[in-house]
Copies of this chain bind each other. A is one copy, B any other.
Amino acid sequence: MRFKGRDVISIKDFTRDEIDHILKVAKEMEPLAERGSEMLRGRILATLFFEPSTRTRLSFETAMYKLGGTTIGFAEPEVSSVKKGESLADTVRVVENYADIIVLRHPLEGAARFAAEYAEVPVINAGSGAEEHPTQALLDLYTMIREAGRIDGLKVALAGDLRFGRTVHSLAYALSLYDVKLYLVSPSLLRMRREILEDIKGRIDAIETEDMEKVIPEIDVLYVTRIQRERFPDPAEYEKVRGSYRIDLETLRNAKDNLIILHPLPRTDEVSPEVDMTPYAKYFKQVRSGVIVRMALLALLLGAVE
């Protein structure tokens, strides 16, 4: 197993053994996240965000700083050479002269893979198009291990927009490498795409349903995503659906005591603020896992740990 110099474009590029190894290294990063480290002193991370994503950008920058490295980059394309018509291939070949590793966020599918082909330094995909968001999947797994002690044996519901939500595609695939029972809870209009579902079903049990209420008492992990109004041709349809996928204390009255609620954030109103005070709510702790997992990836790809 070798990570130094590798790209992180899709969760599918990794075997279960490799994912387990990343999660193990992440655990070793916990004390370094508290007290800091000089492991990557002198190394530079470039964050190239061709579409804004404050959370993801700050998470990577924090991870780099906690390891003693530093960062350059841009937070939105308006200020970049892209305005002058530069190709992504050229941008990447310029930036690799500045940075030891590149994190790329791009509105077009395939952009991260394309960039990685041109770059000699490692490229990490921080979201491209409606495709995968592999570091989000890794931090979701890490949060499950941290909060539930394990992934194997868990019953996990992915709820909300399973069709367009970029994070759930990576996560569903990743979970399918483990011994997990999956509930896919969504309005029929927002069901998980067939090709992703087929891929998962070959390996694990995945049940599609629209009925949140029935699923709640069964599960150990509830992963909630945003349902966007724009997805619905009929506003009335949206209003109907929205209510039945909103999580509040009432929805949770039959939940297991140790249920874990996760959310990739930002949320709007799909998880009620009253849930924040319950022991179920782990979505802010999930943010911390993001820093930990990204520290592990930076350290692995730059060869600072094995």
Q: Determine the distance from Cα of A65 to Cα of B40 in the docked complex, in whole angstroms.
A: 13
CB-based contact A94/B265 at 8 Å? yes
CB-based contact B72/A52 at 8 Å? no
Q: Is A31 an interface residue (CB 8 A)?
A: no
CB-based contact B86/A266 at 8 Å? yes
Binary contact readout A55-99 vs B (1 if CB under 8 angstroms, 0 otherwise) = 100110110011000101111101111011110011001110111
Q: Is A41 an interface residue (CB 8 A)?
A: yes
Q: Determine the distance from Cα of A292 to Cα of B65 in the docked complex, in whole angstroms.
A: 23
- Closest B residue to A273 by CB, please name it: B89
- Residues of B near A232 (CB, < 8 A) are none
CB-based contact B97/A287 at 8 Å? yes
Q: Is A2 an interface residue (CB 8 A)?
A: no
Q: Is A303 an interface residue (CB 8 A)?
A: no
- Residues of B near A178 (CB, < 8 A) are none
CB-based contact B58/A73 at 8 Å? yes
- Closest B residue to A65 by CB, please name it: B70
Q: Is A240 an interface residue (CB 8 A)?
A: no
- Residues of B near A278 (CB, < 8 A) are none
- Residues of B near A98 (CB, < 8 A) are 58-59, 61-62, 287, 291
- Residues of B near A62 (CB, < 8 A) are 44, 72, 98-99
Q: Is A35 an interface residue (CB 8 A)?
A: yes
- Residues of B near A42 (CB, < 8 A) are 35-36, 66
- Residues of B near A265 (CB, < 8 A) are 81, 86, 90, 94
Q: State how many angstroms separate the Cβ of A19 from the closest Cβ of chain B.
A: 22
Q: Determine the distance from Cα of A200 to Cα of B109 in the docked complex, in whole angstroms.
A: 50
CB-based contact A52/B78 at 8 Å? yes
Q: Determine the distance from Cα of A284 to Cα of B268 in the docked complex, in whole angstroms.
A: 44
Binary contact readout A267-280 vs B (1 if CB under 8 angstroms, 0 otherwise) = 11000010000000
- Residues of B near A35 (CB, < 8 A) are 42
Q: Determine the distance from Cα of A248 to Cα of B4 in the docked complex, in whole angstroms.
A: 36
Binary contact readout A252-271 vs B (1 if CB under 8 angstroms, 0 otherwise) = 00000000000001111000
Given A93-B284, A94-B265, A94-B287, list of 18 further CB < 8 A pairs? A36-B43, A44-B65, A54-B79, A54-B80, A58-B98, A59-B98, A61-B98, A62-B99, A65-B72, A81-B265, A85-B266, A86-B265, A89-B273, A90-B265, A90-B266, A93-B287, A94-B284, A97-B291
- 21 A-B pairs with CB atoms under 8 Å apart are A36-B42, A44-B65, A52-B78, A53-B81, A54-B74, A54-B79, A55-B81, A59-B98, A62-B99, A81-B266, A84-B268, A85-B268, A86-B265, A89-B273, A90-B266, A94-B284, A94-B287, A97-B288, A97-B290, A97-B291, A98-B287
